[in-house]
Structure 1
Amino acid sequence: MKSNKSPLLLWVLLVSLFLIALNSTVQADLQNIGKSYVNSEVFKANMDTFYQNIGPTTLNPINMEEAEKTIPVAKSEIEAHRNRFGTMSEQISNIQDQYVDRIADAKESKNEELKAVLIKERDTKLDDIRQNFESDEHVEAKIRTKKAAMLKGYLNENLRLEIDEFPVFYELVDTKTGEKFSYGDMFSHAAYKKVFDGGNGYLKASSIPVDRDLTFMRDDEIELTRDDMLSISNPTRTFEGEVIVSKDALKDGLLSHQIKQYNQDRYFTFVLWLVGAIALAVVFTKLQFKKGWVTENDWAIKYSHLKIDMKVGLLGVSTIAMYAVLNIVSNRFRYFYFINVSAWVMNIIQFGFLLLFLLAVVFQLVNFIERLRLKGMLEKDIADSYTVSFFKAFHDMFLKKSIGVQTFILLIGFFLAGIGFVVVFLMPVSLILYIPAVLFLGLPALYMLVKRSAYLNRIIVATEAMAAGRLHEEIKVEGKSPLAEHANNLNNLREGVHVSMTEQAKSERLKTELITNVSHDLRTPLTSIITYTDLLKKEDITAEERTKYVDILDKKSQRLKTLIEDLFEVSKMASGNLELNKQRVDMTQLLQQALAEHEEEISKSGLDFRVNFPESALVAYVDGKRWWRVLDNLIVNAIKYTLPGTRVYITLRKVGDTAEFIVKNVTKYELGENTDELFERFKRADTSRHTDGSGLGLAIAQSIVDLHNGNMKIEVDGDLFKVTVVVAVV
């Protein structure tokens, strides 16, 4: 790592020494630090084992003769023993097959004595098999004998061995019977002494070992459980007296070896503490870590190009490997005084691996953290990771579930086929299963794969023809597979071209209607103006007629002016040239003003307006003039097109962070179901166009709402007409 290599390696070396010291301290029994061996937890555990074992072996042993008569045997154990080697006929046949050749060989060699022994041995076994199936008592006795032998072997071979290996002297008396048990010289100088009496507590001697693992006390068919032992154990006996471990016992034998190892462990722990403390002090004072040691090198640049999941995986593997090697090294270094030269070489190699893995962990952690500190980098790295890409691809694989499932099953099939080939190569006998699997599973799957591939190619060729404009031939749909569904979709696409052409024709028709409607709406008032202008030119008209004609001209002129202004405004909105002067506007007050403006028209219309608006101000940031136009157009629209004698409902309310304006009325004209056409320019509910109006009211309102980032929706249910306008409030 260029010039940063040496300080980083030294830093890693010091940290490794500290970690070894720390881990060795954790592995050591901290409760023993500063204590002599006889006061240690190790010695206490040994003595606890002695107190547990002395009951079953010496003070309160089970009577084996009685145990063999009373050990419980379950019915399931009898059945398991009886049918261990099959049915009675199978077992008898098996025994006869075992001896037939041996008896024949003895007869051929004229060894009558061996022949008689073999026949007797065979007949004994056959008789035992018959008794097994005829008598539960026969089987029960055999199982009970085995259990007793298992118990006797356990007590004599395991517990007695542990008692004999530990040099303990004792003198104990049963508190009820007065029976005395003693061993060793109680007048020896005691390094350890424990008194059992009423003040210090009595020694409880059980007939079975307490808290001992008995799972090994079983064979293929029989298990001696703790419940079995409890059923034949003696009542717990209470003893008083003394137990000592003499000082001489600490000098020789097992205890001397344990004391030596215990003291060496303590001394080495102190040395490790000192080394670890020195290493830690150097790391925090003289050799403080610098991130440039690991970030300013070529390896850091290469590492930055790895995906984040690969980084996490490598960091996890490095950390686990470092921890595993650390435990090995720490444990081996604690017992360095027992290690020979070759083992020390292994220690050095393992220590080298520890340095390597720790260096890898430090390098990855620093670079990983430094990259995560960059704003937005974590989200970017996660989005670019292999894991996210895999799950996206896996999800997309099942966009068409049937294809995804079939592909997944096919992949599993190929995987199992590969495993099967390896198994056949290693175990030729497995061909018995492999050949039928190939015939009845593999070949049908291969046939289906080839058939689907051929169908896919035909679909691709047909698709290319469609792309070239040859739409006369339909793709053949075969079956109900996903490919057949795709072929059907392509046929629908082909039909869609026809639909598109139809829609294009409809669009042309709408354009023609638009031109016709504009021409009609402009020509009607213009024709009236020309007509009444010509009438005014006549000299023989009366003053009353002149006044009437002037009023009509004024009305038609205003009508024409309104049409031209609305058309001009819609054009500006469509081109995006309309500028808004937004300010804080009280929507409640604006609605009241709009209704007041049309109060006379409302009263003349005979309609019942039901208005509901909030009592407090409802403020929105809008262009007041333009928004007044929205309300005005909708109110005028309701006055013109509502069925006479019905009600008009106008509601203004706050919904969340928005103001919602609703107009509901019953129309006097049939609207049909296509509400989208109501937004078309010059489109009116009065298709005969006998009513006044430009037909641009809803189109203008829609454009103004869109410019305010609001929403306008029309709903028609029969003759019920409903307009909903939503805009954000302050």
Structure 2
Amino acid sequence: MDIKSKSKYLFVIWVILIAYGLSGLFSVLTNGSRYMHGDYFESEEYNSQMDQFVAMLNVYELYGMPKEEMKKQITVTDEEIEEHRTRYGSLGDQISNIGMQYNDQIKAAIDSGNKAAEDVLTKERDEKIADITENFNSDEYVRGKIVKEKEKKIDEFYRTLQEYRSEFNHLGQAYKYYLKDNSTGKVYTNLSLSKTESATDYMNKKDMFYVQDYAVLQRNYLFTGYSEKFLPFNEVAESILENQKDRDLSGQIGLSKSASGKHIAIMNYNDYQTGKKLFFVYLLTSFAALIASYFLAKRKPATVFGSFEHMKPLYGRIPLDVRAVLLLLTGVFLLLSMTLISEQFVYYHSNFFSSLIELIISLIAAASLLAFGWIQLKFLLEYRNDWQQLKDDARNSLLIKSYYAVLDAFIVKSIGFQLLVILGIAFAMGMLFVGVLAAGGGDIIVIAFAIGVISLPIFLIIMRKAGYLNKVLKHTEELAAGNLGADIPVKGKSAIAKHAANINDLRNTVKVSHKEQAKSERLKTELITNVSHDLRTPLTSIITYTELLKTPDLAPEDRDSYLEILDRKSKRLKVLIDDLFEATKMASGNIELHKEKVDLNQLLQQALAEYNDALSQSTLQLRISQPEHPVYAFVDGQKLWRVFDNLIGNILKYALENTRVYVSVKEEQERVVLTFKNITKYELGEDLNELFERFKRGDQSRHTEGSGLGLAIAKSIVDLHEGSLDIEVDGDLFKVTVILEKLN
């Protein structure tokens, strides 16, 4: 083995020893208080578990009472009566709120001519108002209400006690107690004592891991849960049980050695003892590792520390401030890895191999970070002998470069000012040149002519360009301020002219954007209004007739009528919700198509067949034009059938009575064109694209049964098939054109 390889191996061993040793010292800071100050019975986990047992013992055994007795001790104060009375405001406020709650429902019943529903709602409102009024007239009336509320709280408290009983019994298998009420002589214990045995036969160091006096444990407990930590807090039960706190109780509670080793209390004790042993072994071995690393470095410093000059050029390319941050991050992750090492001892796994693997991984990570940090620190310390290099590297740091970049960005105040300065310098240099020539005997007249004929026109041209640029900048500032104004005049084909043209395009785009935004806000408002109207109408009917069904002695024929209305309105509501859900899925593209070869002629005929009865009962005259041979397309038949279904349904809803309806299928080269034409019974708006918006209808009064989603769903389906669906209106003629790719 050569010297270089030996140096590498010794360095690796050294950093591993250092990492392990430092992790031990770090563990003293993080976990020393757990094991170096007292034993397990002074630890936080034992005290927490004992607190839980004492809190439950108080409730279940020491201070418990029958539910009915607790209810008899309920008291109501004047403050509670006043709080209950004004909980929701003054009498006027509460009556006003109740009125507002019922006004809409009563109005809906009146509008629908439902006298029974109106009477039921009015009676319910008046009863609530009478109840609130009585609250403000009688203290005893309010007192009775509060008593009932507290009785419910007590019932809830005893249900909770029943739920936590098993947990208390489980803790009682490990924690043994013998307590005595000194005033009554009553004994509370879970020890199995014979007549000849006393509590001292069990409550001793032989049979108990640890014994404590009850007086020491009984601190500031809440009877229904110590700080709400072990049992849900119940204010009513707490106030009643609090009155028993003056009882004189004495005795002892201890952790029994006879408890099962699988009990959580015993497992915690055993885990603590094992962890304590591992901690001190870990501490001793870490100190040994530090001592070994010290002697290794002392005996062979050159071999251990080695030479890392081959890494210096690569490291030197990193900016100085980045190196500092990198060193800081290395230190942070080193502390984290040391924490992981110490936790393998303190919070060990029952699986030895799992703990060993995690320890090795953490140790390798810590050693690697320590080596990386050592190399960085070694190179940074070399600046002690080369302060000039430190200054140079500081000037090339990212922070300094960023600082100067910001300064450079603010040097230019005005392009016109810069041009003026540049031209002034050029003019001064020219005059200097003339002076030099004059001093040398040059032809001053020729030079002055050149300056007057060439330089002056160039100066004027540049100043004109600067003025034009300033105009462009001024328009840009106005545009940024929101003042769109008029277009900038575009002069020539220079870069400034191109920039002016771009500003004009941006201005026009902003104008269009403002219009689209205003339109979007209007459509959003209409959408919310339409959704509220379409969903609320059937929902109001459902609520009204549901209330009517609750009416006592309702006639069977009325009940059947109400159920029929409920069935119709609920189905209507389901259609609206299903259509809205499908339209949302379509718009987001979150839908999967199952394409196959489909005859569009046959698919259209199937869609028309669904409406045979409706068409025959209507006054519309249907005219169908389609090829006699099949016309195939590669589409999702089920989804495309929905398109035809929506379009035919719209025709039945919105076509003018006693008019003709035309449906045609045509083949044009590589595509299929389907056309649906009818005369509308409603006057359509100017913007046809709005008909594709959700909940937008041609029937602005919204008297029809549609959801307003048909065209939106149809267009989304056609778009997913990479086709097109367009609308044309000529007067009252409404035409829908669907174009799909034909399958040859």
Instruction: Sort the TM-score into its range (normalised by shorter chain).
Output: 0.3 to 0.5
TM-score by length of 2: 0.42
Larger gyration radius, structure 1 or structure 2: 1
TM-score by length of 1: 0.43
